[in-house]
Amino acid sequence: MPLVVLCGRPGSGKSRRAAELREALGGPERPAHVVTEAEGGRAALRAEVERRLSRRDVVIVDAGNELRSIRYELYCAARQAGTARCLLHCAGGAGGPEEPPFEEPDPSCRWDRPLFTVRGEEPLPLGAIRAALFESAPPPPHRATRTQPLQSCGFLHQLDRVTQDVLAAVLAAQRSGAQPGETIRVPGVAEGLVLSRPVSVAELSRLRRQFISYTKMQPSDENLPQLASMFLQYLSRSIQ
C-alpha cells in the first residue's frame, strides 16, 4: 500500500500532519503506520520503511527528509515495493545552526512528485492525496529486475566512475592527515564532505555499494550532473 513521505524544517508541523494523515487514511481494513526518525539515523529509517511497506498498510514517514538523496532513497523503496507514493512538504519552521540544510522539493524531479505543500494551519488536500495514493496505477517494477534500456549502460558506467572518484578523494584526504571536522573536497564538485570521525575503506566500500544499489534502480541521464553531490550527501548522512 502507499507511502507518504513528509519533509520540512524543524517546527513546520510534520508530526501534527502525520497524525492527521494517519487518522484520515487508515482504517480497520487499511492500517496506517507512522515511521519516525530514531536512533540509527538514515539507514534505520529506510529499513523500517521497507519493513512496513506491504499490500495492506499505509506508511507515513514523519521525518525531516531534508536532502534530495534521502527522498530519492524512499522513492526507490516505493518503486521496489510497487506501490504509489507522494511527498507532503510542510512549509515554514526554522532550522537552527546545528540543523542540516534543507533542500526544497522540486516537482521537476520524479522523486519529489506528486508533491503537496501545506503552510501553517492550511487544511490538508486530502482529496488530492487520496487520489494520488489510491486512484493512480501502481508503478511498474523497478528496473533492476527488468531489461535496462541501452542508455542506462552509460549511466551505470558513470555511476561507478563517479562513486569511485569520491571514495578516492575521501581516502586520499584521510591519508594526508585530514582531521574530523575538516571539509574534504572532491575535484569538480562544489559540495564538500565533513566527517565526524575517520572512516575505513571497508565502510566506505559498503556505503558505496548501498548507494549504487538504490541509484541504479532508476538510471536516467538527467541525474548525471547530481551523482557526485548525491553520493556526498549520502555519505554525510550515513556516517554518524
Q: Which of 163-167, 192-196, 232-236 has the highest mean pLDDT?
A: 163-167
> Are the CB atoms for 1 and 59 separated by under 8 Å?
yes
pLDDT score at 150? 39
For residues 216 and 218, what is the distance between their CA atoms, to the nearest angstrom? 5
Which superfamily does 2-135 belong to?
P-loop containing nucleotide triphosphate hydrolases (3.40.50.300)
For range 89-117, the mean pLDDT: 85
C-alpha grid cell, residue 85: 507514493
Look at the chain and count its residues: 240
Residue 75 CB partners (closer than 8 Å, separation 6+): 85, 110, 111, 218
- The pLDDT assigned to 145 comes to 34
For 33, the enclosing helix (H) or strand (E) is strand 32-36
Confidence band of 144 (pLDDT split at 50, 70, 90): very low
Does the pLDDT value for residue 161 go beyond 50?
Answer: yes
Q: Could you tell me where in the chain the CATH 3.40.50.300 domains are found?
A: 2-135
Tell me the pLDDT tens digit for each residue of 64-80.
Answer: 888 888 888 889 888 88
pTM, two decimal places: 0.61
What would the pLDDT profile of 119-138 be if each residue is shown by its tens digit?
Answer: 989 999 999 999 999 888 76
Q: Strands 32-36, 3-7: parallel, antiparallel or unpaired by DSSP?
A: unpaired
Would the CA dihedral through 14, 129, 43, 153 be positive or negative? negative
Sign of torsion over alpha carbons 206, 139, 51, 91: positive
